[in-house]
Amino acid sequence: MTTKLADTPVAAKRRRYVSDPGDIGSLVQPDRVHGSVYTDPAIFELEMERVFGRAWVFLAHESQVAEPGDFFTTHLGRQPVIVCRDKEGAIRVFFNRCTHRGAIVCREAQGNTNRFQCPYHGWIFDTTGRLAGVPYRGAYSDEFLADEGLNLAEVPRVENYRGFIFGCLSDTGVGLVEHMGPLIEGIDGILERAPEGAISVPVGVHQYEFRGNWKMQIENGMDEYHPPFSHASSVKKGGHQMQRAYGSTDGYKVVRGSEDQEVGYAESYYDIAECHGADYGQAFLTIPDESRKVDLREESYKAKMIANLGEAGYEDMFERARMSNAVFYPNMILRSTGNVHIRTIQPVAVDHTIIRVWPIQIAGYADHMNKGVLKYSNIHVSVASFVQTDDIEIFERVQEGLQAQQPEWLMLARGLDREWEGQFPGELVGKASWETGIRKQFAYWKDLMTAPE
């Protein structure tokens, strides 16, 4: 007699978790999430409304709109927006949608202008978004053209925390600082370590897209379980990229405690660091060793900072520089030490995502140090990098793997219930290879996705 899969204990256990498609909350369990959160177009649509429509979303760095008339175009979720510094110096964020018949008003990535002219029928908007010109206007009544609804619409809430500009499509909810929680340390820290107290992103962008769900990149921003395997070619002596690793018998093992990674006392090298997860889905990694702060020991830099802070102040600053990746849910990763950059995530479709990486330049760094950031970003996060290309390959493999209908769930149990409390209310701390941060992301995701208003 044969046993059908449907009769096995494993199948019965799986059935317990099968969710009602209408019950979004059941898709997130303490130790797992349902595969449909990465593959179901209807869930993606709801995310655009309830996650990107409710959370604070990173838009731009102030240096991208430094002067009056400067503009920078980007997306808030799927919605095109223009970040603009008006002629009075105020930063505004407009929906990039002409109020005549809906065309994108501004297609350029960034620049400086007195006005935006829609390419379709030539309507003109000034830098405050006001409708300032309509071709052949005699066919309209003055009363019609006086309607303020013809000005470019503005994103309801915009906040600028020390140069980091965020927008929120909901006019209710917590302010930006409360939303960021412990992550303000990532922004404060990078500015504290800048000898002249300022940073900018003037050197362009690495841009690429992948056929996978947007959450894969925001989860990966503090996933320190994967580097020994996905990034074998970069972190193991003699390591190869993943396709060729099969059959490899030698090379440096990124493991502590035992050469055998599967025994209980073997530990990832990365677990000398921590993964923190907090309210509102915020998460960060600490620095595993001093390798990510070697810049801070550079002689000319050290001399400047000692002049600024004194010897003891400099050492204190060095010690406190603990944050590596600050992962701002839902769409930005700030690498705040070493290879400093802003990485943004633009959801396009349930299986299509665009990544942009803006290397940061630090005011007061020696030229060779700022160039070093660029070189490192080429190796780490460019389209031709040795590291991020591994991740992109993996994201697409996950999306493909999820087309298989069984098992239905993805596991997030690593380190569950072993974490300890952090400094902020709701903050949990685990070892770097634990899935602490991802669980916090999904806790917030569940809150947002299940709240009706």
From ligand FES, Fe ion, none, interface partner of 285 (C-beta below 5 to 8 A by class): none
- Retrieve residue 336's tokens: 């705040």
Strand 428-431 relative to strand 420-421, pairing:
antiparallel
Within 8 A by CB and 6+ apart from 356, the residues are 205, 206, 207, 343, 344, 346
For the bound state, the minimum distance from the C-beta of residue 127 to ligand FES, rounded and expressed in Å, comes to 17
From Fe ion, ligand FES, none, interface partner of 140 (C-beta below 5 to 8 A by class): none
> Which one among 5, 12, 120, 197 touches ligand FES, defined by CB under 6 A?
120
For the bound state, the minimum distance from the C-beta of residue 46 to Fe ion, rounded and expressed in Å, comes to 28
For the bound state, the minimum distance from the C-beta of residue 39 to Fe ion, rounded and expressed in Å, comes to 22
For the bound state, the minimum distance from the C-beta of residue 158 to ligand FES, rounded and expressed in Å, comes to 24
The interface region with ligand FES, picked from 119-127, 139-147, 287-295, 403-411 by CB under 6 A, is 119-127
- DSSP states of 12-65: HHHHHHPPPTT-GGGGEETTEEETHHHH-HHHHHHHHHHTTTTS-EEEEEGGGG
For the bound state, the minimum distance from the C-beta of residue 129 to ligand FES, rounded and expressed in Å, comes to 14
Query: If you ran DSSP here, which 8-state letter would residue 109 be given?
Result: S
For residue 259, how far is the Cα from the chain centroid? 34
- Retrieve residue 325's tokens: 């990746």
From ligand FES, Fe ion, none, interface partner of 124 (C-beta below 5 to 8 A by class): none
Torsion of CA 321, 325, 330, 332, to 10 degrees: 90
For the bound state, the minimum distance from the C-beta of residue 93 to Fe ion, rounded and expressed in Å, comes to 31
β-strand partners of 328: 332
The amino acid at residue 147 is D
- Pairwise CA distance, residues 181 & 154, whole Å: 26
CB 173 within 8 A of CB 51: no
Under DSSP, is residue 229 helix (H, G, I), strand (E, B) or coil?
A: helix
Query: If you ran DSSP here, which 8-state letter would residue 261 be given?
Result: T
- Pairwise CA distance, residues 29 & 442, whole Å: 9
From Fe ion, ligand FES, none, interface partner of 199 (C-beta below 5 to 8 A by class): none
From ligand FES, Fe ion, none, interface partner of 391 (C-beta below 5 to 8 A by class): Fe ion
Q: Mask: binding to Fe ion, 391-430, rule CB under 5 A, as x and -? A: x---------------------------------------
- Pairwise CA distance, residues 291 & 268, whole Å: 17
Q: What is the number of the residue whose Cβ is closest to Fe ion?
A: 391
For the bound state, the minimum distance from the C-beta of residue 122 to ligand FES, rounded and expressed in Å, comes to 6
Q: Mask: binding to ligand FES, 121-160, rule CB under 6 A, as x and -? A: xxx-------------------------------------
Strand 124-126 relative to strand 115-117, pairing:
antiparallel
β-strand partners of 430: 275
Q: Does 270 bind ligand FES (CB under 6 A)?
A: no
- Pairwise CA distance, residues 219 & 435, whole Å: 9
For the bound state, the minimum distance from the C-beta of residue 260 to Fe ion, rounded and expressed in Å, comes to 24
- Pairwise CA distance, residues 427 & 279, whole Å: 7
For residues 262-278, one letter each, b for 16 or more C-beta atoms within 10 angstroms of the residue's C-beta and e for the rest, the string is eeeeeebbbbebbbbbb
The interface region with Fe ion, picked from 1-9, 168-176, 315-323, 386-394 by CB under 5 A, is 386-394
For the bound state, the minimum distance from the C-beta of residue 114 to ligand FES, rounded and expressed in Å, comes to 18
Which parts of 49-108 interact with ligand FES (CB under 6 A)? 98, 100-103
> Residue 123 or 284: which CB sits closer to ligand FES?
123
From ligand FES, Fe ion, none, interface partner of 86 (C-beta below 5 to 8 A by class): none
The interface region with ligand FES, picked from 88-96, 116-124, 157-165, 320-328 by CB under 6 A, is 116-124
> Residue 132 or 191: which CB sits closer to ligand FES?
132
Binding site for Fe ion (CB under 5 A): 391
Binding site for ligand FES (CB under 6 A): 98, 100-103, 118, 120-123
